[in-house]
């Protein structure tokens, strides 16, 4: 749908739609999310919104795209530790803002009841994991990690403790977590735990 012809005006529409989608999700949830409600909230003509985002999942998609683009701290310092600590600190900072936590929480909950929301969320994580794995792929190429390390597993290990505390055990994200999450993922990766060749009983 993006085109260089529509230019600045359309970007403004997109930004307004993203903000209104986020606010609708936080205040009213996924169940009632629609192009009509988002258009009303954003003060944009319904047909303009509808033309580009035909349903709730298209709106969630564009909101998650914003999350994925702006909130992932991806360094390339050449040091796996520095890069993964930055990524981990970035996740902590992202969810230090309650509204962002609520957006992801609402989508996680929506996914339990809506196969389309689940699919949208699954695509988001797949993109996000693949992007975040860049420093791990570099470390493997540089011989810093075992050659058959699964980069995505390292990133899953880094991220899991945040989501586990936020949405499962309902514990606070303490200050030490970002450091521990990165260090634990790196220690396990160095020990060969995420090697694809690892024997299940080895």
- Which residues are at the interface with its own copies (CB under 8 A)? 105-106, 108-109, 111-112, 118, 121-122, 125, 129, 153, 156-157, 159-161, 163-165, 167-171, 175-176, 179-180, 183-185, 187-188, 190-191, 193-194, 198, 200-201
Cβ-in-10-Å burial (0-12, 13-18, 19+) of 108 comes to: middle
User: Using H for helix, E for strand and C for coil, what is the string for 115-162?
Assistant: HHHHHHHHHHHHHHHHHHCHHHHHHHHCCCCCCCECHHHHHHHHHHHH
- Closest CB to its own copies among residues 13, 64: 64
- Closest CB to its own copies among residues 5, 176: 176
Long-range contacts, 89-98 (Cβ 8 Å, 24+)? 89/178, 91/158, 91/159, 91/162, 91/178, 91/181, 92/162, 92/173, 92/177, 92/178, 94/67, 95/162, 95/166, 95/173, 96/173
Q: How far is the CB of 30 from its own copies (least distance, A)?
A: 12
Q: How far is the CB of 55 from its own copies (least distance, A)?
A: 20
- Closest CB to its own copies among residues 49, 158: 158
- Closest CB to its own copies among residues 3, 199: 199
- Closest CB to its own copies among residues 78, 164: 164
Contact 154, 136 (CB under 8 A): yes
Q: How far is the CB of 54 from its own copies (least distance, A)?
A: 23
**Distance from the Cα of residue 100 to its chain's centroid:** 10
Contact 62, 53 (CB under 8 A): yes
- Closest CB to its own copies among residues 46, 152: 152
**Distance from the Cα of residue 72 to its chain's centroid:** 8
Residue 175 backbone dihedrals phi, psi, to 5 degrees: -60, -30
Q: How far is the CB of 17 from its own copies (least distance, A)?
A: 25
Q: How far is the CB of 191 from its own copies (least distance, A)?
A: 4
| Tokens encoding 23 | 């606010």
Q: How far is the CB of 178 from its own copies (least distance, A)?
A: 8
């Amino acid at each position: 749908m993006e085109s260089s012809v529509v230019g600045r005006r359309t970007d403004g529409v997109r930004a307004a739609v993203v903000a209104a989608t986020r606010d609708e999700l936080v205040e009213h949830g996924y169940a009632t999310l629609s192009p009509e409600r988002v258009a009303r909230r954003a003060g944009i003509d319904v047909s303009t919104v509808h033309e580009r985002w035909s349903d709730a999942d298209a709106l969630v998609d564009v909101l998650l795209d914003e999350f994925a683009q702006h909130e992932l701290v991806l360094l390339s310092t050449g040091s796996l530790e520095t890069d993964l600590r930055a990524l981990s600190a970035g996740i902590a900072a992202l969810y230090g803002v309650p509204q962002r936590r609520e957006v992801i929480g609402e989508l996680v909950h929506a996914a339990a009841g809506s196969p389309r929301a689940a699919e949208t969320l699954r695509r988001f994580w797949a993109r996000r994991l693949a992007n975040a794995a860049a420093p791990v792929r570099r470390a493997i190429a540089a011989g810093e990690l075992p050659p058959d390390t699964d980069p995505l597993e390292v990133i899953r290990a880094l991220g899991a403790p945040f989501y586990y505390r936020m949405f499962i055990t309902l514990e606070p994200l303490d200050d030490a977590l970002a450091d521990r999450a990165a260090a634990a993922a790196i220690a396990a990766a160095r020990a060969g735990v995420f090697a694809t060749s690892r024997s299940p009983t080895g």
